[in-house]
């Protein structure tokens, strides 16, 4: 990979450069990328032909490959070619179709896709000789594997299903707090309120809602039917979710056995020359976690009204309590966004040049459920 004149030397690779990684062989796959797989600042990863039920999650460590550990911990192999059900409470490992041959200086990180997190599917990418999940070191050459553990709903998957995405970066481009303040002064990162910047852009929880009988969140119903991850707009909300309505004090007691979909109070935006990532857990803000990290592509929330004012989008949050019941109150800090510059502006922006399920969103379930 070469950095062209006028481009940053540290930053996130845009769609155009991800395409070049395929051309140069730094990303390879058995089949060509499909439409929509290359996002403005990330690449969707596709499941392979088989899944392995494993005894427990694992990391290979610095001296072993994933295949070495898999031979020890696998229980049985599942053919995905006709579609297969992955059960809740089980852990699976799936070889992915994409493989990497990264040059020195180019690293990557992975996250569940937005729809994956909103279905409470716990996923993590693992690579050979890894000491941590979802992190691919610079210069890595080898296969990719996805650990999958459905938590609330059993799911149907097949070869080509896309549950996770990968983002490539040159150098260490994360913006400092002072740089975030300067960026907000140039183009508002939070719409309609002052930003709270400390270790990233902090955001809080909305437990008042919009009124008029609208819910403030959803609680997943365990023991529901299966969800086919490749079928959008296919399921009735109430078959899988219990709406949560405001009542009395603007607070919510999180049960550690339950999964919640909530929404941020703030509307945020990601400028076209930047990408952002949600920090999944911060023990300083309480005994709960924003359950899944997430990538925010360039252009997220960067829509304008007829007067040219930025509208922003609210962040949908997948939340679990951490070990004990915990009371969330309206306006309580619940997470952070960290921003990174792009190496160059993407060819397509989220919500502007490409179909985006969650642009301009408020409280919204995954695309699998009917509005």
pLDDT single digits (tens) 123-146: 999 999 999 999 999 999 999 999
pLDDT digits (tens, 9 = 90+) for 259-306: 999 999 999 999 999 999 998 655 655 666 666 768 999 999 998 888
pLDDT digits (tens, 9 = 90+) for 42-94: 999 999 999 999 999 999 999 999 999 999 999 999 999 999 999 999 999 99
The correct CATH number of 177-341 out of 3.40.190.10, 2.70.40.10, 1.20.1290.10, 1.10.630.10 is: 2.70.40.10
Query: What burial class does residue 371 get, using C-beta atoms within 10 Å of its C-beta: 0-12 exposed, 13-18 middle, 19+ buried?
Result: exposed
Other CB atoms closer than 10 Å to residue 9's CB: what's the count?
10
Q: Are 180 and 236 in contact (CB under 8 A)?
A: no
Strand order, beta sheet including 155-157: 84-86, 155-157, 227-228
pTM: 0.93
Region of 320 please: left (phi>0), alpha (psi -120 to 50) or beta.
beta
Which CA distances in Å does 54 have to 87, 123, 152, 359? 12, 14, 19, 37
Residues 6+ apart with CB under 8 A from 111: 134, 164, 165, 167, 277, 292, 293, 294, 295
Q: How far apart are CA 273 and CA 269, in angstroms?
A: 12
Q: How far apart are CA 58 and CA 81, in angstroms?
A: 25
Q: What mean pLDDT value characterizes the chain?
A: 91
Q: Where does CATH 2.70.40.10 sit in the chain?
A: 11-170, 177-341
User: What architecture is domain 11-170?
Assistant: Distorted Sandwich (2.70)
Least confident of 148-157, 162-171, 315-324: 315-324
User: Does residue 282 sit in helix, strand or coil?
Assistant: coil
| H or E element, residue 115 | helix 114-118
């Amino acid at each position: 990979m070469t950095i062209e004149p006028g481009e940053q030397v540290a930053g996130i690779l845009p769609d155009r450069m991800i395409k070049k990684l395929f051309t140069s062989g730094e990303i390879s796959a058995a089949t060509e990328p499909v439409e929509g797989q290359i996002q403005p600042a990330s690449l969707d990863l596709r499941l392979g032909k088989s899944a392995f039920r494993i005894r427990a999650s694992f990391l290979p460590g610095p001296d072993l490959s994933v295949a070495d550990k898999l031979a020890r911990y696998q229980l049985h192999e599942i053919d995905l070619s006709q579609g297969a059900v992955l059960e809740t409470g089980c852990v699976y490992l799936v070889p992915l179709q994409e493989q990497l041959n990264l040059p020195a200086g180019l690293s990557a990180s992975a996250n569940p896709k937005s729809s994956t997190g909103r279905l409470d599917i716990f996923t993590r990418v693992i690579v050979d000789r890894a000491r941590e999940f979802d992190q691919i070191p610079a210069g890595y050459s080898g296969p990719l594997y996805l650990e999958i553990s459905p938590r609330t709903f059993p799911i149907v998957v097949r070869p080509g299903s896309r549950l996770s995405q990968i983002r490539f970066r040159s150098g260490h481009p994360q913006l400092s707090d002072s740089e975030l303040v300067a960026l907000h002064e140039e183009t508002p990162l939070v719409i309609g309120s002052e930003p709270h910047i400390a270790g990233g852009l902090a955001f809080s929880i909305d437990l008042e809602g919009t009124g008029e009988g609208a819910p403030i969140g959803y609680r997943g119903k365990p023991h529901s039917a299966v969800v086919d991850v490749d079928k959008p707009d296919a399921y009735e909300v109430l078959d899988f979710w219990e709406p949560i309505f405001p009542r009395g004090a603007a607070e919510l007691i999180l049960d550690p056995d339950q999964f919640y979909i909530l929404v941020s109070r703030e509307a945020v935006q990601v400028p076209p020359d930047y990408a952002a990532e949600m920090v999944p857990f911060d023990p300083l803000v309480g005994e709960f976690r924003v359950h899944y990290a997430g990538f925010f592509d360039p252009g997220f929330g960067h829509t304008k009204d007829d007067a040219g004012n930025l509208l922003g989008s609210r962040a949908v949050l997948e939340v679990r309590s951490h070990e004990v019941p915990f009371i969330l109150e309206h306006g309580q800090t619940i997470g952070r966004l960290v921003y990174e510059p792009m190496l160059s502006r993407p060819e397509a922006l989220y919500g502007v040049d490409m179909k985006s399920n969650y642009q301009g969103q408020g409280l919204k379930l995954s695309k699998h459920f009917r509005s």
